[in-house]
């Protein structure tokens, strides 16, 4: 099998960014491939709607491509595109509110759309899969009831596993504010989940 000497270098984000800035569409495409699932998941959590999440994903990378030369590389590329994505999502929500569109649907259309695009081929047995899907759906629905300020912090810290410092940087908050919002988000989620599980 033929190996390309650039393969190792292309795995390095800073190299990809430099090549993309120099006009390499392949390098930018590699950055898109690397982060599109995470940005799509962020879109779902911010907007609560698969169609809006898809729009948000496309708009985020389009904006990133248009403004790539403005990226100063004093933070990670992922941090930069998350900021863009959150701004795009908030604009979508403002437009939705101002045009009095239908509110976020919590329970419909979650069939397979909560898990974005391609996932690994292996699967647990059907019973485990059903339990996992039901629990994931309950958690997604509960998370969507959180106010936006709590929801975004919860998603970045507890779903994406980013550090408090990274989350603070992405959202332009102090680390203390991130910790406070995360604490309140977890409390509300616990309360909501306990209500849902009691009803079930």
Looking at per-residue pLDDT, the higher value among 120 and 124 belongs to 124
pLDDT band of residue 42 (cuts 50, 70, 90) is confident
> In the chain, which ranges are continuous DSSP H helix?
7-10, 13-21, 25-47, 50-66, 77-98, 126-144, 148-154, 164-171, 175-199
Per-residue pLDDT, averaged over 75-102, amounts to 78
What pLDDT, on the 0 to 100 scale, is given for residue 17? 92
Give the list of residues 6+ apart from residue 169 with CB closer than 8 angstroms, or none.
Answer: 75, 79
Q: What is the mean pLDDT of residues 92-105?
A: 59
Q: Look at the block and give the residue holding tokens 């994406």.
A: 160
Listed residue (187, 45, 18) closest to 116, CA to CA: 45
Contact partners, residue 160, CB within 8 Å, separation at least 6: 38, 41, 42
List domains and CATH numbers for the chain: 1-119 (1.10.1740.10), 122-200 (1.10.10.10)
Q: What is the pLDDT of residue 31?
A: 92
pLDDT higher than threshold 70 for residue 103? no
Question: Dihedral of the CA atoms 155, 171, 93, 183 (nearest 10)?
Answer: 40
Question: Percent of the chain having pLDDT more than 70?
Answer: 72
Structure-model confidence comparison of residues 98 and 66, the more confident one:
66
pTM: 0.59
Round to whole Å and give the CA distance between 30 and 92.
26
Residue 48 · residue 93 · CB < 8 Å: no
Residue (of 181, 177, 27, 51) closest to 108 by Cα position? 51
Q: pLDDT, tens digit, for every residue of 140-151?
A: 777 777 888 888
Q: Mean pLDDT in the chain?
A: 75
pLDDT of residue 45: 81
| In the predicted structure, residue 53 carries a pLDDT above the cut 80 | yes
Which ranges of 100-163 does DSSP label H, i.e. alpha helix? 126-144, 148-154
pLDDT in tens, 161-196: 888 888 888 888 899 899 998 888 888 888 877 776
Other CB atoms within a 10 A radius of the CB of residue 156 amount to 25
């Amino acid at each position: 099998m033929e190996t390309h000497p650039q393969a190792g270098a292309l795995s390095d984000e800073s190299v990809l960014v430099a090549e993309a800035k120099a006009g390499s569409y392949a390098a930018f495409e590699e950055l898109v491939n690397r982060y599109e699932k995470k940005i799509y998941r962020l879109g779902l959590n911010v907007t609560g709607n698969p169609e809006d999440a898809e729009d948000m994903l496309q708009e985020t990378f389009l904006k990133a491509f248009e403004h790539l030369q403005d990226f100063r590389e004093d933070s990670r590329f992922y941090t930069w595109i998350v900021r863009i994505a959150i701004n795009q999502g908030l604009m979508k929500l403002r437009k939705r509110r101002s045009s009095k569109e239908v509110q976020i649907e919590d329970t419909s259309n979650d069939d397979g759309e909560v898990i974005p695009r391609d996932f690994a081929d292996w699967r647990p047995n059907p019973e485990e899969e059903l339990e996992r899907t039901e629990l994931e759906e309950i958690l997604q629905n509960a998370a969507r009831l959180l106010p936006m300020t709590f929801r975004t912090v919860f998603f970045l810290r507890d779903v994406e596993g980013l550090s408090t410092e990274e989350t603070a940087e992405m959202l332009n908050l102090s680390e203390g504010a991130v910790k406070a919002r995360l604490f309140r988000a977890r409390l509300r989620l616990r309360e909501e989940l306990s209500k849902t599980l009691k009803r079930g």
